[in-house]
Amino acid sequence: MSARTHPAGLGMTYTKILAAVNEHLNSEVSARYAHHLAQTTQSLLYLCYIAEKGVSARDFTGAEEAVKRLFHKAKESGVRVESVFDSGDPVNKIKEIVRTEGIDIVFAATRREDIEKRFYAGTVSRKLSLILPCSVALVRVVHMGRIHPRTILVPLKARIHHISERTYFTAMLNRAFDSKLFLFHAQKKITKFFRGELHLTPIEWEKKIPHDILRFIDHLDRYSVRHEKRLTPGSAGRHIMIEAASKRHDLIVMGASERSLLHSFIWGNPVEEVLRETPCDLIILKPRYEDT
């Protein structure tokens, strides 16, 4: 793994970022996020197209042109960039490249099937996030008008793993777009058997802010990132979408689901809900770096 120490001693940084590009427009937009992150972190950007078996000539040309456009744009903005063309199974080929090149994070666009299939069972997105030995940022592109996100919504769970990488990724995206972060946590409602649901004011909710979120904020503060926080009771998925829509946020950055299929089936899965109905672009980060 090529991750290097951050100059300010804040943990790891990315040095090599790979963007998986194909003939679809959303993969090109997803690669633009990778490009901005590479520019901010001064990483080497890999633009990678793996032609699947039986790909049409038109699709091949489309993907090739997308890589070319991205390549020139990266060069123009001073980003060190390499393009990789290969053929075969995209997941296995990308895995191979990640291993040989020591890639820190892979950006891939979600496909239609990710949204249609429940719990992304058997989808390329799920395979990528499970198989790749590096971090994965799955990008769902839905709005082509918000090119540089000015406000980023960061939903947080009560228990956050990989805090160092999550904060690093969020802070670098924030720096790349000079945006403002809005941290958001949907708390479980407090109910008593006889009194029913208890109403708490925002100040009272804030006193119940989970420890991991405080740690996340502490890490963010070290990057001097502007942010606001908000806690609200209710179901996570629905409230994340209401928050994003009502405040017109440009991008949502959230951690990947750690729920099992059975758990998701019984209790639902907020990441899946947001993925399906997000009102703005969404990045789901599956971090790999352990907290130091």
8: left (phi over 0), alpha (psi -120 to 50) or beta: alpha
Smallest distance, other proteins to C-beta of residue 5, A = 32
- DSSP H/E element including 123: none
Amino acid at 113: E
- CB nearer other proteins, residue 214 or residue 245: 245
Smallest distance, other proteins to C-beta of residue 77, A = 13
Smallest distance, other proteins to C-beta of residue 25, A = 6
Specify the residue for token string 């993969």.
27
- CB nearer other proteins, residue 279 or residue 287: 279
Q: How distant is the alpha carbon of residue 71 from its chain centre?
A: 22
- CB nearer other proteins, residue 111 or residue 162: 111
* Distance, CA of 234 to CA of 283 (rounded, Å): 22
Q: What angle do CA 89, 95, 99 make, to 5 degrees?
A: 145
Q: Which of 21, 39, 44, 51 is nearest to 102 (CA)?
A: 44
Smallest distance, other proteins to C-beta of residue 171, A = 20
- CB nearer other proteins, residue 131 or residue 147: 147
Smallest distance, other proteins to C-beta of residue 65, A = 9
- CB nearer other proteins, residue 177 or residue 289: 177
Residues in touch with other proteins (CB under 8 A): 23-26, 28, 58, 62, 66, 69, 111-112, 141-148, 150, 193-197, 199, 201-202, 228, 230, 232, 238, 241-242, 245-246, 248, 273, 276-277, 279-280
Pairing of strands 12-13, 4-5: antiparallel
